[in-house]
Amino acid sequence: MSTIESITLVLALVYSISLLYWSKQKWGAALCGALLMAALVISLHWPLFVGLGLSLLLLPLFNKFQPALAQGGVVNGQRVKGNKANQLKEMIRHALALSMMLVGIQFAINAALLKAEITPWLVRPDIGDAFLPIAGGIELKAILGLGLWDQNHPAAAVMLVVVLLTGLLCKRAFCGWACPLGLAGDYLYSLRKRFIKQELAPPAWLDWILRMIKYLLLAALVLLVFTMPLASIPHYLDGYYHKVADLKMALFFLSPTAISLMCFSLILAIAAWKRQGFCRYICPYGALLGLVSFLSPFKIRRTTEQCLIEGKGMKCDKCTRACPANIIVHTQTTIRSDECQACMNCISACPKKEALHFSTRWGMVMSYRGLTVLVLMLLFMIPLWAYVGGFWHSETPTEIRMMLIQHLNSIGH
Ligand code: SF4
Ligand code: SF4
């Protein structure tokens, strides 16, 4: 685990624990604190202790600014003055995007040094394997079918499990609260709205057809993993292609062909055209989370007796108008949609605080703080324990990567 990863990880975990503590969940905070300390002591990895020291110094700041730090979110292209849920969500999204940017820089420096045949003084960030979902799927198949753990990109399988768990527990909260690509899409969309004010929403039939694209892409990826014979997986995991799958992925984006350039342009155009266009139409991860999220016990639920419509006989559709995913909230009692990102914009917009909740059918309500803590714990505590257990760090020797990066173009499956 690299120094940047370690420090980011401990800062995020201490912040989550402090949120739990300030939300009066003292036992939860104590348990999470104990898990964190145990992982630190077992690992004895010095950057984790630097992160701990730094976060202890920052604790008074966390307290002073919890949780209202950032500006409000982007709703229908307008940057709105934020309420607490939006502020916290935007802060988390920006902090995670910033840390991913640092990871990208670290990865690029490491790769450039390898290419120049200089032993890297900056280690490869293992978290970059989160961008290898196919490798993660193949690794999971190897773990489940053969009991075999990959030694080259083990973090890919760990991060796939983390993302699936977020979907299973709290809808597509990963898309709404963590994904840096979704944030980039939001900025692109608001930039477009500055110059072209119209919404340009597609008709419902076209929207439905476009939404199916991401499921087709997901089906193609799942088919790829499922049709790979189990017996051939050890050979694949030990092959040159898998050892440099991260570098091949980087090369794909850095030296695009004419066709991939056209695809990128189309993706950017879709993201600028429609709010959450990339997540809604293209992203196979979004499709996977959309499917898994049907199983999530937590959903947006409307208590009709409290709602202004049934309770007071008034007209109201503020929740629907606030929804960035175009879900009709004000006529439903439970939002089961695969597009719901648990962003809580509808709850924030509702004038009757008891009318809308993110809750289970048996009445357990999750606040925006609770959701933040859950998402951060899943995103950081599981990788920390994977690291402690030896299921995180790549064991590919630097010399092998240095040799392979010189022949990247000729390495195939
Ligand atoms: S239904 Fe509510 S939580 Fe779900 S996407 Fe719409 S605004 Fe966000
Ligand atoms: S915003 Fe609140 S009160 Fe208005 S329709 Fe939605 S749930 Fe009911």
Residue 78 has a pLDDT of 45
Contact 279 CB / ligand 1 (< 6 Å): no
pLDDT over 90, % of the chain: 35
Higher pLDDT, 345 or 64: 345
Measured from the Cα of 355, ligand 2's closest atom is: 7
Residue 64 has a pLDDT of 65
> 334-382: per-residue pLDDT in tens?
999 999 999 999 998 999 888 999 999 998 999 888 898 889 889 888 9
Contact 222 CB / ligand 2 (< 6 Å): no
**278 and 181 in contact (C-beta within 8 Å)?**
yes
**106 and 122 in contact (C-beta within 8 Å)?**
yes
Best residue among 174, 344, 368 to mutate for probing ligand 1's pocket (most ligand atoms within 8 Å of CB) is 344
Tokens coding 73: 């979110």
Residue 208: which H helix or E strand, with range?
A: helix 204-227
Contact 318 CB / ligand 2 (< 6 Å): yes
State the burial class of residue 196 (Cβ atoms within 10 Å of its Cβ: 0-12, 13-18, 19+): exposed
Contact 316 CB / ligand 2 (< 6 Å): yes
Q: Helix or strand or coil: residue 407?
A: coil
CATH T-level fold of 299-359: Alpha-Beta Plaits (3.30.70)
Higher pLDDT, 79 or 233: 233
Residue 66 has a pLDDT of 57
Measured from the Cα of 322, ligand 2's closest atom is: 1
Contact 347 CB / ligand 2 (< 6 Å): no
pLDDT band at 89 (very low <50, low <70, confident <90, very high): confident
Helices and strands (H, E) in the chain, number of each type = 20, 5
Ranges of each domain in the chain = 69-293+368-410, 299-359
Q: What is the DSSP letter of 358?
A: E
Please report, to the nearest 10 degrees, the dihedral formed by the alpha carbons of residues 35, 53, 380, 340 taken in order. 120
Rg, C-alpha atoms of the chain: 22
**370 and 83 in contact (C-beta within 8 Å)?**
no
Cα of 337 from ligand 1 centre, angstroms: 9
DSSP-assigned beta bridge partners for residue 129 = none
Measured from the Cα of 171, ligand 1's closest atom is: 4
> 293-340: per-residue pLDDT in tens?
999 999 999 999 999 999 888 899 999 999 989 999 999 999 999 999
pLDDT at 27 over 80: no
Cα of 129 from ligand 1 centre, angstroms: 29
CA distance 188 to 270: 10
Contact 357 CB / ligand 2 (< 6 Å): no
Closest residue by CA, ligand 1 atom 1: 340
What does pLDDT average to over the chain? 85
Interval 402-412 mean pLDDT? 82
Closest residue by CA, ligand 2 atom 2: 350
CA distance 295 to 146: 27
If we measure between CA atoms, which residue out of 126, 150, 321 comes closest to residue 234? 150
8 Cβ contact partners less than 8 Å away, ≥ 6 residues apart: 51, 99, 102
pLDDT band at 42 (very low <50, low <70, confident <90, very high): confident
**298 and 358 in contact (C-beta within 8 Å)?**
yes
- Helices assigned H by DSSP within 299-391: 308-312, 318-322, 345-349, 368-388
Closest residue by CA, ligand 1 atom 6: 323
> 14-25: per-residue pLDDT in tens?
887 787 777 777
pLDDT at 151 over 80: yes
Q: What's the Cα-to-Cα distance from 291 to each of 90, 177, 298, 302, 345, rounded to whole Å?
A: 25, 18, 14, 22, 22
Q: What's the Cα-to-Cα distance from 72 to each of 188, 212, 259, 387, rounded to whole Å?
A: 16, 31, 37, 35
pLDDT band at 164 (very low <50, low <70, confident <90, very high): very high
Residue 25 has a pLDDT of 74
